[in-house]
Amino acid sequence: MKGGGVRKPGKAAPLQVAKAVFWAFFGVRKKSDHAADVESLTPVQIIIGGIIGAALFIGSLLMLVKFMLS
């Protein structure tokens, strides 16, 4: 049997990872885009992108609060 039925995901571009993480934070995603992400993103890319996205979000909130209180 050729292929074995298990596909190995390919490497996605950093911009594609950032886009997928942003839409995951926002909570809205088209089914076709989700399917494309499943095919191209690896779990490591998603985890690293999520950590970076969360750090940027928290940093921007801290900067906003510091600005508002000054």
What pTM, to 2 d.p., does this model score?
Answer: 0.74
From start to end of the chain, where are the E strands? none
Q: In the numeric block, which tokens belong to residue 57?
A: 């979000």
**Please, are residues 42 and 11 in contact by the beta-carbon 8 Å criterion?**
yes
- Segment holding 67, helix H or strand E: helix 43-69
29-63 pLDDT, tens digit each: 888 888 888 888 898 999 999 999 999 999 999 99
